[in-house]
Amino acid sequence: MKTTHFNSNYEGLSELFGLPAVGKTTFLKTNKQYININSTNNRQPIKRYLQKLISFLYIIFFDFTFFKNTVRFIGQSKLSFGDSLRLFFNMLRVNRESLKYRDRNMMSDQGFFQAVWSVAVFSFLEREKMAHVLIEFFYENQETFPKQVIVLEDNFDDILDREINRYGKLGSYYSDQIIQERAQYFQELIVKFIQKNYILGE
């Protein structure tokens, strides 16, 4: 697995970015200097819905510009109704955590770039059109960019094997060939964007 560190002058919550099953959770477990913010999120359904409501109200009051940009971004992405709701609230959660925890030594393995990647993968827009929408959204929301990004990359066949071993072929995130192709395409696109806008670290 290849690990690349990127630094910046941005102020958002640090992020670990990579494809599902690349090893993000394992990386955070073995690198104790990073506190995984996602391990502190509540898994109980009622409390998770409450957290979504808190994120919704928090962003409306503290970052309404991001709220408006996200509504437009989700609308332009042509998602299914279920994915629209799920990914919309995920984007709001990411922004709330970035605003709330940016000054703490925490890292998210489900941060800003990962959330935008999810929208792009599940979008019904053609890849090139979605890429344009994605980049436009990035430049509108630079205040949410993580201050540090650690990119994890691995051979896709190895990632696929890990995912299938974990969930079975039908339960795998990559059970659909189109999802496989879009996942790799937008992962590469976002990594190139990070390389262009961040400073390579050690």
CB atoms within 10 A of CB 129: 13
173: pLDDT confidence band, cut at 50, 70 and 90?
Answer: confident
pLDDT surpasses 60 at 41: no
pTM: 0.88
* pLDDT value for 143: 87
Work out the burial of residue 112: count CB atoms within 10 Å of its CB; fewer than 13 is exposed, 13-18 middle, 19 or more buried: buried
* pLDDT value for 49: 63
46: pLDDT confidence band, cut at 50, 70 and 90?
Answer: low
Cβ pair 186, 134 in contact under 8 A:
yes
* pLDDT value for 145: 93
Q: Give 84-138 pLDDT, tens digit per residue.
A: 988 888 888 888 888 777 767 788 888 999 999 999 999 999 999 999 999 999 9
